[in-house]
């Protein structure tokens, strides 16, 4: 018998999908929305018993229907780089509807941040909504709340994210990067993000009021590339752009700006110790590649 009903934002996506699957494995009831109920992701959720409602987040009445009876919310929004305040507006709207529906417990998935990262103008522009939403969650009057802050997704190297973040990599095997070979990536497995969210839902008192940084393993970029090449047998490699090349390429590929800021992350290498201290899983990148072998095969099938 399900004892909770959780509304999971972005269940057709990476983090939300893992949260929905892990909650269903516990027998909990899960509601979500999608704009396209016919998509493979939406159909897969339906097949495991997730209640999938068709809605755009801008459509209030549909969201109210989808959240009716839910007592917990996994909040995860999507950045709008053209209009960065949209993420906060939509997220606050989601919180208002959740409150009215009777939700008492919110787990918000934000992003790893530090004062140094926050001082970078691109970060201020693109990620300002995260801070606004963290404050809205803290001050929203919910009985329990937890903010989880994931590092760099291991899934960024895989379809469908790789196509958006690293144009050409899936087709050629070559990642064009603004990072350096020794840039330390504070990587996180989305199943570990979900495990953290599920732990917070199961132990509200323990996680209440905390902001938890999540890193599964710190891996240098070149080691990540080498691990993918070795484990998949595909000719996966990187081309590291010089600073002037990065500036020239940014106009065509704004994601390189994002890539460039990751250069400053190295000083927080080893942050997985904090995740482990909470008793949360810390999957290695190699274990992730082995587990996701089939998706790697599909992503790099021409390489």
Question: Using CB under 6 A as the criterion, which residues of the chain lie in contact with ligand NAP when the complex forms?
Answer: 10, 12-16, 33-36, 39, 42, 56-57, 76-79, 111, 150, 152-153, 156
Least distance in angstroms from the C-beta of 301 to ligand NAP: 21
- Our CB check for ligand NAP shows the closer of 104 and 263 to be 263
Assigned token pair, 156:
């960024």
- Our CB check for ligand NAP shows the closer of 15 and 227 to be 15
Question: Which CA distances in Å does 252 have to 79, 174, 248, 261?
Answer: 19, 17, 8, 17
Least distance in angstroms from the C-beta of 169 to ligand NAP: 15
- Our CB check for ligand NAP shows the closer of 10 and 232 to be 10
| Sheet containing strand 51-54, strands side by side | 51-54, 29-34, 5-8, 72-75, 105-109, 144-150, 210-214
Cα separation of 258 and 210, whole Å? 27
DSSP per-residue codes, 221-240:
HHHHHHHHHHHH-S--EEEE
Least distance in angstroms from the C-beta of 244 to ligand NAP: 26
Q: Coil, strand, or helix at residue 300?
A: coil
DSSP per-residue codes, 165-194:
HSTTHHHHSEEEESS-TTPEEEEE-HHHHH
**Residues 29/6, Cβ–Cβ less than 8 Å:** yes
Least distance in angstroms from the C-beta of 213 to ligand NAP: 11
- Our CB check for ligand NAP shows the closer of 29 and 259 to be 259
Least distance in angstroms from the C-beta of 13 to ligand NAP: 2
- Our CB check for ligand NAP shows the closer of 113 and 284 to be 113
- Our CB check for ligand NAP shows the closer of 104 and 264 to be 264
Least distance in angstroms from the C-beta of 295 to ligand NAP: 13
Least distance in angstroms from the C-beta of 205 to ligand NAP: 26
- Our CB check for ligand NAP shows the closer of 19 and 231 to be 19
- How are beta strands 29-34 and 5-8 bridged, if at all? parallel
Assigned token pair, 158:
């895989």
Q: Which residue's CB comes closest to ligand NAP? A: 13
Q: Which regions of the chain does DSSP assign to beta strands (E)?
A: 5-8, 29-34, 51-54, 72-75, 105-109, 144-150, 152-153, 174-177, 184-188, 210-214, 217-220, 237-240
């Amino acid at each position: 018998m399900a004892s909770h009903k959780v509304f999971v934002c972005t269940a057709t996506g990476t983090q939300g999908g893992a949260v929905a699957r892990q909650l269903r494995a516990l027998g909990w009831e899960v509601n979500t929305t999608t704009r396209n109920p016919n998509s493979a992701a939406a159909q897969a959720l339906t097949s495991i018993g997730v209640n999938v409602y068709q809605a755009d987040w801008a459509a209030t009445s549909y969201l109210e229907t989808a959240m009716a009876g839910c007592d917990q919310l996994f909040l995860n929004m999507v950045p709008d780089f053209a209009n960065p305040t949209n993420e906060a507006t939509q997220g606050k709207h989601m919180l208002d509807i959740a409150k009215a529906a009777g939700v008492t417990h919110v787990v918000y998935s934000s992003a790893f941040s530090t004062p140094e990262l926050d001082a970078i103008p691109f970060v201020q522009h693109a990620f300002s909504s995260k801070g606004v939403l963290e404050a809205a969650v803290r001050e929203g009057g919910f009985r329990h709340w937890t903010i989880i802050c994931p590092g760099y997704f291991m899934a960024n190297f895989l379809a469908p994210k790789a196509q958006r973040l690293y144009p050409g990599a899936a087709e050629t095997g070559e990642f064009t990067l603004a990072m350096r070979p020794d840039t330390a990536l504070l990587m996180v497995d989305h199943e570990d993000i979900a495990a953290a969210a599920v732990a917070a839902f199961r132990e509200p008192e323990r996680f209440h009021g905390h902001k938890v940084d999540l890193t599964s393993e710190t891996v240098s970029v070149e080691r990540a590339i080498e691990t993918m090449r070795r484990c998949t047998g595909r000719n996966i490699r990187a081309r590291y752009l010089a600073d002037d090349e990065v500036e020239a390429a940014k106009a065509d590929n704004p994601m390189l700006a994002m890539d460039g800021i990751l250069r400053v992350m190295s000083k927080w290498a080893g942050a997985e110790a904090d995740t482990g201290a909470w008793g949360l899983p810390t999957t290695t990148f190699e274990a992730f590649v082995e587990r996701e072998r089939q998706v790697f095969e599909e992503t790099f099938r021409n390489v």
